[in-house]
Amino acid sequence: MKQHYFILVLAHSFHGRLRRLHIPHQAVYVVLALAVLGAFSVLGMASSYARMAWKVANYNSLQTQFDTLRGKYQQLQKSADQTNEQLATLQVFASEVSLAYGVKRQLEGPPDISGEGPLLPTFNESIEQYNFLKSATFSRTFHKYPKAWQANVRPSLWPIHGRLLSSFGRRTDPFSGEGAFHAGVDISARTGTPVKAAADGIVAHADWSGAYGRLVVVDHGGGMHTYYAHLSRIDVIPGQEIRRNQLLGASGATGRATSPHLHYEVRQNGTPINPYVFLARSSTGETAARDLPF
């Protein structure tokens, strides 16, 4: 007779008794089915975990690549901005050269008479003549009002209301991060803040000047000059006589500048000297001058 169950014999090691358990076939099949189903479930969960781990690793890798590409993009953007700035400077220079060349051709006249020399004095000759006439006028004024001119020919005024940002001498270049010599001081001010002459003199330069941006240079006589750089606007012309506290332009961030401010220099016979000596003697901004170590 065919049996429809399994017999499981259990023997007790101490009493020696035997015990028989009858296990139906259906129960065994159910246990086997559950075991197989459990194995497939465990395998499926392991597979899902492996896929999730792979996706996380892939996401981290993509995030790293994204950060790298973003850093390269920022570097390229910075390089492009510097290139655009240089291009704008070159375009302005090219326009000035083209204008100067056109004016020169116009003043020289037709080719058949240009060999006889220019019809009008050159720009340098005009400036020399103007300076000579201004010197004569200055000499007469000096003799007429000696005390006023003697009191105002040396820088004795803060050129702008602001806070000192960078001192004279060695410093870290804000663009390259390397050590560099700073020929003046930087005074923080919003774009458009009035800039005034620190002393009486004659405007020697009032135009774009490379890294200085829009630059005004005032000649105070005796080899002393003051420089006012990164201006957003220039209100004077070369050869113009200017008095202490007279408006010469407005602050800005033209040229090689990271933010709006005034770069102020004092030079004696072409050699930069520390403007702090003159700023400290000025009544304007005394507190800011004391707070900045030089």
**In the chain, where the domains are located:** 1-111, 148-291
Selection from 134, 184, 166 nearest residue 258 by Cα? 166
CA angle 267, 268, 269 (to 5 degrees): 115
**pLDDT at site 166:** 79
Predicted local distance difference test score (pLDDT) of residue 114: 47
What end-to-end distance do the CA atoms of the chain give, in Å? 114
pLDDT tens for each residue of the chain, 294 residues long: 455 667 777 776 666 677 777 777 677 778 888 888 888 888 888 888 888 889 888 888 888 888 888 888 888 888 888 888 887 778 777 767 766 655 555 545 555 544 545 555 555 666 666 555 555 455 445 444 444 444 578 888 889 988 888 778 777 666 666 667 788 889 998 999 999 999 999 999 999 988 899 999 999 988 999 999 999 999 999 999 999 999 999 999 998 888 899 999 999 998 888 888 888 766 544 434 434 433
What does the pLDDT read at residue 139?
A: 47
- For residue 70, the one-letter residue type is R
CA distances to 19, 27, 223 from 31, in Å: 22, 6, 107
Structure-block tokens of residue 8: 């499981």
pTM of the model: 0.48
On the CB side of 106, CA atoms within 13 Å amount to 6
Report pLDDT for 160: 92
CB atoms within 10 A of CB 144: 9
Closest CA to 195 of 163, 159, 165: 159
Distance from C-alpha of 105 to C-alpha of 202, rounded to nearest angstrom: 30
17: its two tokens: 């008794």
Q: Identify the bridge partners of residue 167 per DSSP, sorted by sequence position.
A: none
Q: The domain at 148-291 falls in which architecture?
A: Distorted Sandwich (2.70)
The first and second tokens of residue 201, run together, are 């003199």
Q: What are the two backbone dihedrals, phi and then psi, of residue 205, each rounded to the nearest 5 degrees?
A: -150, 135
